[in-house]
Amino acid sequence: MTAISRRGVCAAGTTIAAMAALRLRPAAARDAVRPALPIPQELRPDARGEIAFTAEAGATSFMPGARTATYGYNGPFLGPALRLRRGETVTIDFTNNLPVPTTVHWHGLVIPGDVDGGPHRPVAPGQHWRPALSVDQPAATLWFHPHFYPTTAAQVTKGLAGLLIIDDEDADRLALPSRWGVNDIPLIIQDRRFGEDGQFFDRMNITAVTSGYVGDVPLVNGVRYPEARVARGWARLRLLDGSNARSYMLTASDGRPLFVIGSDGGLLESPVELKQIMIHAGERFEIMVDCRSGAPFDLVTLPVGEPIMRLPPFDDSVPLVTIRPDGADMPGQLPASLANLPQTPAELPPISQQLVMKMFRDEEGMMPLMKAGLAMGKSGKIDAAVIARVTKLIVDQPELSEAAQLSANGVNGRPFALDEPLFAAPRNQPLRWRISEGDDQMLHPVHIHGCQFRILSERGQPPEAYRAGWKDIAPISAGGYSDILVSFPYPADPHAPYMAHCHILEHEDSGMMAQFTVA
């Protein structure tokens, strides 16, 4: 990644002191030396229509005095931004230089199952994979990440994630901010927890398979509370919730409006003005903010509903990144209209597929947290003694055996089985599916491969306007459900099926995933 500020990183200190410093600092501390926001390098196809990149092991400094073992694409942590255009076919020349097998899933790209990069397409250490990706969908902010079962969560925690940007002529004509790293700013938001040795904490215990990964250090593009020096004018922020499990309620520190222009699969019909935007694991939203005054602001996350996700520092507003528009004036505007989306049919097809997320060991996972004093369904600050007891459970509970891990969760009453497709879907037909969780109360952002869909309803009500565009993740919680309208234009056979799964990666890696074919 390249940086968009000349300022240095934080001053040195001991490892333990630095870990404490990584936690919440007041946004008002403007005079402190701040790390620059790293900007992922853009990778475009070469003259042969190819993009080459590798997965590799490395080490990254997240705090003074410590080097954390990490994975990355074309570098030690995270990866480049692949730039593709609608209508082109690009061959990816991927090499796995990791010591473990991996896959590369093109999250949100509508392509056949045999190039989708799911768990059936592992790439062994030292081996290559050369999928040809034919791009036929609107301009959008997508991403890529591993999908190796059952260690997707561990590989993402180590750092494997990158952006995949689709451009097209329709978006080009809108004169949106488009100078990469200047007024078109990618923001990959994640959370991590560090051990006293400076290494990432990562343990698949009963709390993890129930609640997901609970970090206590927010990172943006791999850096703690960076500063983005951007142009004056309208700024375009491409948001990716790249966390394993955490959701974020994002707002501007000075209350300026956020104009949502795009969701997972592309631009909305028109901008949606919000003061706050909720984003769940795996989701992307594009927002525009008015920076013509030159006044800086922080992008801040506010406390969310799940009690375990409100442990400090996330029990209060947390500044994630400072946007400082002190550059030259740049062109770019907020259009009144953005994209023409197909109208929902007046007569919907009947529900042809139910996907019910199921947790088989949630009581076993939740009871220790409740006994520790974590109150379900309550907001507000958590008592310090409760925080200490819950943190001890997160960190000290023993790792589950593989058999216990793989049977902890499921879809439609069954844990995931690599060699057993759960159902078949017809190709090129509008389908109405219902995604639900029965009597479960947990959040599940459900991702479906091989498509972009429209959310018809959430709990029987129309979706919020900023979720009414193209989506590949439908969040459900509190016993709710979502109905979606979906179509699959490409085949997926039993040897390379599509996946439908919760994008809380610890849920996915413990059985909350189903595979299906399309023919």
Q: Give the Cα separation of 398 and 207 in Å (integer).
A: 10
Letter for the amino acid at 388? Answer: A
Q: Give the Cα separation of 382 and 49 in Å (integer).
A: 54
Q: Give the Cα separation of 222 and 413 in Å (integer).
A: 37
- Please tell me the pTM assigned to this model: 0.94
Verify cis geometry, omega within 30 degrees of 0, for the bond prior to 313: yes
Q: Give the Cα separation of 59 and 117 in Å (integer).
A: 26
pLDDT of residue 247: 98
pLDDT of residue 121: 97
Q: Tell me which of 3.30.310.50, 2.60.40.420, 3.30.450.20, 3.40.50.1170 is the CATH number of domain 42-168.
A: 2.60.40.420
Q: Give the Cα separation of 133 and 127 in Å (integer).
A: 19
Residues 6 or more apart whose Cβ sits within 8 Å of residue 353: 423, 425, 431, 433, 434
> First vs last Cα of the chain: how many Å apart?
41
Q: Give the Cα separation of 435 and 509 in Å (integer).
A: 19
Q: Give the Cα separation of 314 and 168 in Å (integer).
A: 38
Q: Could you tell me if 436 and 354 are in contact, meaning their C-beta atoms sit under 8 angstroms apart?
A: yes
Ordered by start, the domain boundaries in the chain are: 42-168
Tell me the C-alpha to C-alpha distance, in Å, between residue 209 and each of 8, 192, 298, 502.
38, 16, 33, 12
Helical ranges in 399-511 per DSSP H: 402-406, 505-508
Across 424-445, b (16+ Cβ under 10 Å) vs e yields ebeeeeebbbbbbbeebbbbbb
Please tell me whether residue 188 adopts helix, strand or coil conformation: strand
Q: Give the Cα separation of 207 and 477 in Å (integer).
A: 18
What is the rounded radius of gyration, in angstroms, for the C-alpha atoms of the chain?
22
Q: Could you tell me if 135 and 109 are in contact, meaning their C-beta atoms sit under 8 angstroms apart?
A: yes
Q: List per-residue pLDDT tens for the chain, 519 residues long.
A: 655 432 332 333 333 333 344 333 444 444 468 999 999 999 999 999 999 999 999 999 998 889 999 999 999 999 999 999 999 999 999 999 999 999 999 999 999 999 999 999 999 999 999 999 999 999 999 999 999 999 999 999 999 999 999 999 999 999 999 999 999 999 999 999 999 999 999 999 999 999 999 999 999 999 999 999 999 999 999 999 999 999 999 999 999 999 999 999 999 999 999 999 999 999 999 999 999 999 999 999 999 988 999 999 999 999 999 999 999 999 889 999 999 999 999 899 999 999 999 999 999 999 999 999 998 766 678 999 999 999 999 999 999 999 999 999 999 999 999 998 999 999 999 999 999 998 888 999 999 999 999 999 999 999 999 999 999 999 999 999 999 999 999 999 999 999 999 999 999 999 999 999 999
Burial class (CB in 10 A: 0-12, 13-18, 19+), 69: middle
pLDDT of residue 1: 66
Q: Which two tokens stand for residue 212?
A: 């997901």
Tell me the C-alpha to C-alpha distance, in Å, between residue 313 and each of 178, 306, 487.
34, 14, 41
281: left (phi over 0), alpha (psi -120 to 50) or beta: beta
Residue showing tokens 């070469």: 46
Q: Could you tell me if 33 and 322 are in contact, meaning their C-beta atoms sit under 8 angstroms apart?
A: no
pLDDT of residue 32: 64
